[in-house]
């Protein structure tokens, strides 16, 4: 294997692991507090769409990212408020947001660009280019930010009162309530944080990774992020690592398709990330234990 291939595989792994890691880190915080949001897939695609729309209008991808985050905050707040104050069936809400996301973005794409499937190209967040031996290694600033966020969350969850409160709300909300923690507000805020990062992840797909909106471009990555959180045992560093492992297989798939695309049908490569995710998920599932009160609405007696 030549050095160029290794560099492009590594660069691609970082690119494709980032959206999964971002969404997973947000979901981790949401789940720690006792709320599960399986609708992050929908928030991702909506974030991707609106980030592209905003960039299309302003020609500034940074604005695009901010808009993606804001949209994520709105949907995270919706999920949080419904789950916390109206005791919503969180799984159903999540499925709803997923379907809503696919629908909304396809409708919007057809309206704005008058064509089904994809938007026009927009400007993207510039990458940091590193040259190694004449090979180009490109690193997105958002990837760097993601890795930094993972480390930051590790310390926040482990050593600060925020981590402690999140944990108590997710493990034993009654005790937390008695101890004076506002479980309702904390869970809503955690959902908002999760939504923000899912929107950010979508914006990354839109105005960093691809530079356009493509129908269904989240392609199940929201659910892969959910798998990362579970396999990562609700710890930021392990969750991030596993997200990039999934990113690696996605990158591998693309590179294999490039090399062997003439002999073997592309579908045989496209299924690789999903199969690998399933296998890793099944293999490591048993070892992880979710927060005790996950997906259970807290009601005061």
Partner 1 sequence: MIKGSLEQFFTSVLAVFIGLLIGAIILWITGYNPLTAYGLLAKSSLGDHHSIIETLNAMTPIIFTGLAAAVMFKSALFFIGMEGQLYVGALFAFIAGYMIQLPPIIHMAIALLAGGLGGLLWGLGPGYLKAKFGVNETVISIMLNWVAIYLTDYVVLYVFPDPKATITRTYKISPTAVLPRISSNLPLNWSFILAVLTAILTGFILYKTTTGYEMRVVGFNPRAARVAKINVERVYLKTFLFSGFLAGLAGSSMILGVFNSIPYRFSPGYGWDGITAALIAQNNPYFVLISSLLLAVLRTGSFGMMVGIGVSSDLILVIQGVVLVAASTPGAYSLITRYLKSWRGVKT
Residues that bind partner 1 (CB under 8 A): 38, 41-42, 78, 82, 86-93, 95-104, 106-107, 109-111, 116, 219-220, 223-224, 226-227, 230, 265, 267-268, 270-271, 274-275, 277-278, 281-282, 285-286
| Cα dihedral 66, 62, 42, 100 in deg (nearest 10) | 80
Pick left, alpha or beta for residue 291 (phi over 0 → left; psi -120 to 50 → alpha; otherwise beta). Answer: beta
Which one, 200 or 281, has the nearer CB to partner 1?
A: 281
The nearest distance, CB 39 to partner 1, in angstroms, is 9
Q: How far apart are CA 116 and CA 196, in angstroms?
A: 27
The nearest distance, CB 110 to partner 1, in angstroms, is 4
The nearest distance, CB 79 to partner 1, in angstroms, is 9
Q: How far apart are CA 223 and CA 66, in angstroms?
A: 23
The nearest distance, CB 273 to partner 1, in angstroms, is 9
**230 three-state secondary structure:** helix
Q: How far apart are CA 166 and CA 31, in angstroms?
A: 9
Which one, 102 or 137, has the nearer CB to partner 1?
A: 102
Residue 135 pairs in a beta bridge with: 132
Instruction: Give me the phi and psi of 17, to 5 degrees please.
Output: -80, -25
In the DSSP assignment, the letter for residue 259 is H
Which one, 11 or 218, has the nearer CB to partner 1?
A: 218
Which one, 70 or 156, has the nearer CB to partner 1?
A: 70
Which one, 61 or 232, has the nearer CB to partner 1?
A: 232
The nearest distance, CB 224 to partner 1, in angstroms, is 8
Other Cβ atoms within 10 Å of 148 Cβ, number: 10
């Amino acid at each position: 294997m030549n050095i160029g291939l290794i560099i492009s595989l590594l660069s691609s792994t970082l690119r494709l692991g980032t959206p999964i890691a971002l969404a997973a880190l947000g979901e981790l915080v949401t789940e720690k507090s006792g709320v599960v949001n399986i609708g992050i897939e929908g928030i991702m695609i909506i974030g991707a769409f609106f980030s592209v729309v905003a960039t299309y209008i302003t020609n500034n991808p940074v604005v695009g990212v901010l808009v993606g985050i804001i949209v994520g905050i709105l949907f995270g707040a919706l999920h949080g408020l419904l789950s916390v104050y109206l005791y919503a069936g969180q799984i159903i809400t999540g499925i709803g947001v997923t379907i809503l996301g696919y629908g909304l973005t396809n409708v919007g794409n057809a309206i704005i660009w008058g064509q089904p499937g994809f938007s026009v190209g927009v400007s993207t967040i510039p990458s940091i280019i590193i040259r190694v031996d004449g090979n180009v290694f490109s690193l997105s600033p958002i990837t760097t930010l993601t890795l930094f966020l993972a480390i930051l969350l590790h310390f926040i969850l482990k050593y600060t009162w925020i981590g402690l409160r999140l944990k108590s709300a997710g493990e034993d909300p009654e005790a937390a309530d008695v101890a004076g923690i506002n479980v309702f507000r904390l869970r809503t805020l955690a959902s908002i944080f999760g939504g923000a990062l899912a929107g950010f992840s979508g914006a990354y797909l839109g105005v960093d990774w691809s530079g356009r909106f493509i129908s269904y471009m989240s392609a199940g990555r929201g659910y892969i992020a959910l798998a990362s959180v579970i396999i990562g045992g609700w710890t930021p560093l392990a969750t991030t690592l596993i997200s990039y492992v999934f990113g690696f297989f996605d990158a591998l798939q693309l590179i294999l398709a490039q090399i062997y695309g003439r002999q073997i049908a592309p579908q045989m490569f496209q299924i690789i990330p999903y199969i690998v995710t399933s296998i890793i998920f099944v293999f490591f599932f048993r070892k992880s234990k979710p927060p005790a009160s996950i997906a259970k609405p807290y009601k005061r007696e």
